[in-house]
Structure 1
Amino acid sequence: MIIAPSILAADFSKLGEEARAVEAGADWLHVDVMDNHFVPNLTIGLPVVTSLRQATSLPFDCHLMIENPQRWAPGYAEAGAYNVTFHAEASEDPIALAKDLRRAGSLAGLAIDRDTLVEPYLDLLPHFDTLLIMTIKAGFGGQQFMPELLDKVRAARAHAKTGHLDLRIEVDGGISADTIAAAAEAGADAFVAGTAVYSAADPVAACRKLRALAESAVSTGGSSV
């Protein structure tokens, strides 16, 4: 199970400190890049990510909510990101971009937004390392988890099993102690949590609690991931 705190919920005035604050409990650091075009919000870009890379040992899980990802995504891989995910809705040739990302040194992830069906993209999954399924509408943190979107997770996990794919299925949006078990049972094995981690008195303990809840949900009868 992968727990990936989202810096979207962190204090942007001290991002390096906030990243280090979760190192003992997190697996990845989820970095939300928004361009105020693909989504109606503006966060950080490549220069900030490059600087932040020097501040923490956590692998970066860069989620690009941007237009024209084929232009920008390889730069995040070259900057040292472990996984770079771009949106299916923004990409003209997802497979070509996945190959570019791997050549640049990162894993390749494909993101599916709230209103996008997952079925048209299932046959592309062998070309990706990660499938990120939004459980909210992309663009803002602090939104309420939408359990009906877990049907996409179930469909993707079933397809991955049928094809014997080594695929990480990640969920992003409203993940908390109250929702992570349902996401794990549906077949997710990577969980982006912003507010649930960075609003906690002890962010490391919050990460560990989320992991325990996800692992328990699977071991007691959920999907095997």
Structure 2
Amino acid sequence: MKIMPSILGANSLELAKEVTRAKEAGISGLHIDVMDGHFVPNLGFTAQNVKDIKQNFPEMEAEVHLMVANPEQMIGDFIDAGADTIEFHIESTTNAYHLIQQIKKSSVKAGIVISPSTPVSVIMPLLELVDQVLVMTVNPGFGGQSFIKEMIPKVAELAGIKNSQNASFEIEVDGGINDNTFTFAKEAGATVAVAGSYLFNGNNFHERLSRLI
């Protein structure tokens, strides 16, 4: 199972050191949260941050999670910044199909995100188009929240659809991931896990990572 450290949980004043710490532990990609203070009541990273990360750590995959209103206004900036994957919330747009086209025509992977209150049925028509589905296991907008175990049936539902359709999309979970909740998600069929506070708050990143892989 692939682990994507969320730099929202890192020390923002020493971000380069934190990314280096993840890299030295064997991590090959980062989850980068972008928030606008409107779709969620918080602020996150910017396209410039993504550009800086890619310039200094070009080998690191940059997975951008847009928690913003009107994501269509930002997609181009993050493509230009070097994002490898761009994920947006289905709740944030009425133009999901167009957004996926816009992302993929630039050879960037496209992901769709569902918040805890959104059922899998809402994104069914998009599953054959996307590279990844992110199931939020906390309410979007803040790091350090507790895992919502009731989201596990969504993961299992997506895994069942993926298997029945012989599809290739990744199933990602984000929020409250630690060595206990990771197991629930993996057993349900998740293939990617985002972990922020759990990894970066510890003194030994590698030791905490080893509990997840």
Normalised by the length of structure 1, the TM-score is: 0.90
> For the residues of structure 2 that align with 1:80 and 1:105, how far apart are their CA atoms?
11
> For the residues of structure 1 that align with 2:172 and 2:10, how far apart are their CA atoms?
20
Between 44-53 and 174-183, report the one with greater CA deviation: 44-53
Q: Which residue of 2 aligns with 1:155?
A: 157
> For the residues of structure 2 that align with 1:104 and 1:27, how far apart are their CA atoms?
21
The CA deviation at 1:48 is 1.8
Q: Which residue of 2 aligns with 1:16?
A: 16
Counterparts of 1:156-175 in structure 2, within 5 Å, are 156-175=158-177
SS of 1:104 mapped into structure 2: coil
> For the residues of structure 2 that align with 1:94 and 1:87, how far apart are their CA atoms?
9
Matched, 1:50 2:51: yes
What do the CA deviations read for 1:157-215 (whole angstroms, capped 9, x no partner)? Answer: 1111111110100000000001101100111010000011001111123223211xxxx
Unaligned runs of 5+ in 2: none
What do the CA deviations read for 1:47-70 (whole angstroms, capped 9, x no partner)? Answer: 122112222231011101011111
Q: Which residue of 2 aligns with 1:97?
A: 99
The CA deviation at 1:152 is 0.8
The CA deviation at 1:114 is 1.2
Q: 1:77 to 1:207 in 2, by over 3 A?
A: farther
The CA deviation at 1:104 is 2.0
The CA deviation at 1:153 is 0.7
Q: Which residue of 1 aligns with 2:200?
A: 198
Give the length in aligned residue pairs.
Answer: 211
Whether the aligned pair in 1 keeps the contact of 2:85 and 2:108 (CA below 8 Å) is yes
Give the letter aligned to residue 64 of structure 1.
L
Selected match of 2:131 from 129, 132, 136: 129
Whether the aligned pair in 2 keeps the contact of 1:25 and 1:207 (CA below 8 Å) is no
CA RMSD of aligned residues (A): 1.2
> For the residues of structure 1 that align with 2:188 and 2:76, how far apart are their CA atoms?
31
Give the letter aligned to residue 25 of structure 1.
G
Whether the aligned pair in 1 keeps the contact of 2:48 and 2:81 (CA below 8 Å) is no
Give the letter aligned to residue 112 of structure 2.
L
SS of 2:31 mapped into structure 1: strand
Give the letter aligned to residue 41 of structure 2.
P
What do the CA deviations read for 1:73-101 (whole angstroms, capped 9, x no partner)? Answer: 23212321111100000121212111111
> For the residues of structure 2 that align with 1:100 and 1:17, how far apart are their CA atoms?
33
Q: Which residue of 2 aligns with 1:215?
A: none
Whether the aligned pair in 2 keeps the contact of 1:35 and 1:67 (CA below 8 Å) is yes
